[in-house]
Structure 1
């Protein structure tokens, strides 16, 4: 029995060796022709007539270099073993399609000659931005000479988008959210395309996803550990919405989006009651920005489209009734309250800027305008001749100042007729939108002005406080005292 098993095993082994090292027919059990190692046929025909109804399907590849097999088109081939691949045959589905054989130094096309063109590099794309709630963006891409760009909705496959064939500039049409498009380079002579498409993003100016550094509410309330980074501060549910901040040199770290807080943070002892309203009250009031007079209590009219427009507060709400001084706390006076920061409606670890701190910020932007605005030179030439004064009365209205454009957002708000040139928040621009004010029962000056509170009292009656204002028709920044019942914007500064 054991001898019989051994005999069977030897026979099987012998037949396998013969099958491996002999001539092979595929497609039938007919013996191979004498001169063929591999014979593909379905019938025995020795007269030269058709012996099969099927063909040999070659592997389909994309060849990109006519003289190099080691570039990755054929995986596993290296300079050391490329000669072992002489005679390798493939079907190229890229530029100049057809059957190609590797000769050891180049790919040769069988039949009509054709030269494989090296595929273009992927384009260099430039992202584009629009203003909420919606807008159109013209995206751009650059390629080498003799190439153009086709635009797609996906990273691979599909057809070029409408108006996206053979153009370095692609108009997106109206969009209302972040959208990614894909640019593919194409050689205009050979038709060869880039191995990969470049993602090009169209998004809104305040898009927080463009900012790499983030902070939790606990980190937001802690030490300023972010250096010169732009930071997205996560929302604290029930207290404030997310916001963006940036470093402004000697002036410190400031919010670069408007504050939207519905409650005082835990650091405010015995906080007053916040009430939604625009009734000229000296009690804390807040409201939503809006387009028409009656939108002050409706977040769907403007705020929901862009939460970075913030909320509007009267001065008692902004300061949380923490500053009860009746002294003039103007910059340059003995009672300047910079040394006693007022947290008010700001998050823990932040405070409402004083009158002097506002001037610190303005002078930082005047000295280093190119860091914060899309301009080619600084407002101040370097000799401090253009800085705003710290004297109490020198610039009460600020009629001669010119740095307003560098602080205003580039985005229109409800019919604004002039925009600023501040960089967007993700590029550390101060970017003030002209959300107007509110009072006397209505939304006021939407799209025409922005009014930003300081924490500094003005008169002995305690009826007015200092604020900064920018308007749509001029580039000045006004420093005026206004009634504390006017609802205005709050930007906080880090302790």
Structure 2
């Protein structure tokens, strides 16, 4: 009994001395040399006369493992195969089998997958393939995204991408009766969808234009628009979700078709609708005599773009104040009367005011007009512009607004740089050569109607060369403020004139 006990102690002691377990912070080393684990290993088992056994389970026992981790290793005793768990596919993959299997009996590694890596959904029957896998009798294809169905386990394989499909990676491995081969390299597939149609935004209308706005669309790379429902001729707006449409008629309804697009195609059209405003709407129809006047918006002001032509023509020798009603003079190119009134009427100060008193504003807009605007001989809703309203027009018309102060002391001067040219009608239809600097960029369309004098005659040589326009602002008892422009100047003249002269009239909207 003592001999047997001594023998057991000797064997245990010998085993302890032969097997050294080194546990250090960097890893665990199991060996007979006493060396620590290699610095790159968490576990370093080193023997030259022993092997290692991993957990051995039947298929039933393996399947009972709860939530196996990806790459978990076992030896399956049922099929005599080393297996690892592939979490993405939720399957156990045989690494190698020893149950009378010859080397290489498991499928070899798969090559690179070929097929489209950019999909526009929905799309069915997209083919993918790998070079034939050695020893494979079947193929297991796996896709990490959602909304995709795999039609078969063949090579090539067909994938169906639904409208809700998402991007993912495709992998494949060969299979045979021995198990599964290694999983292939991941093949990334980008899934895209046709963009949704944009939603209408808040548009910004004015008399002659509309600023159209719409919502941004997820997945869109750009937008196109058209005035009709034709995508092929639509204008590419890039990534911007706004565009400006100009040259429109005021007080009219307009529609715009808008599409979102990406590499897959374009959305259905969204129809945007908006009406232009009517704050300064051409033409103005004078209800008193049915005459039409073009009008133009300059800055915030709405002006007649033609000289007023209201009233009964009388020869200048008669005088505009003597007959009853509203009278006008009209001049021809020969400085004599012309009942055709091609340049509009010429009106004496009192005739223009039509019983009202003169007035002026007090400063910058909105105080540039009179507290009670002077309608005078203008149509209802319109009035004679004050001296300061003319000043506002000049500031808006050119490149030197500082040259036009809101005062009543700057007088008898050519002011500005190009304001007169920007207000004058371009060309030589009504002006004589050279009509210097005339661009009419403002749309005011000033024409040279000249003036009538107090002595019952027209100013000689003024027709075609100079235009003069009253303001509603007087300068004492006998004179009033006016504006004039000449054929040989690009500037504006601000001056005063005797109220007995007859000048052109422009009306501005209340």
TM-score category (smaller protein) = 0.3 to 0.5
More strand by share: 2
Q: Which has the higher contact order (CA 8 A, sep 6+)?
A: 1
| TM superposition score normalised by structure 1 | 0.42
| TM superposition score normalised by structure 2 | 0.41
More helix by share: 1
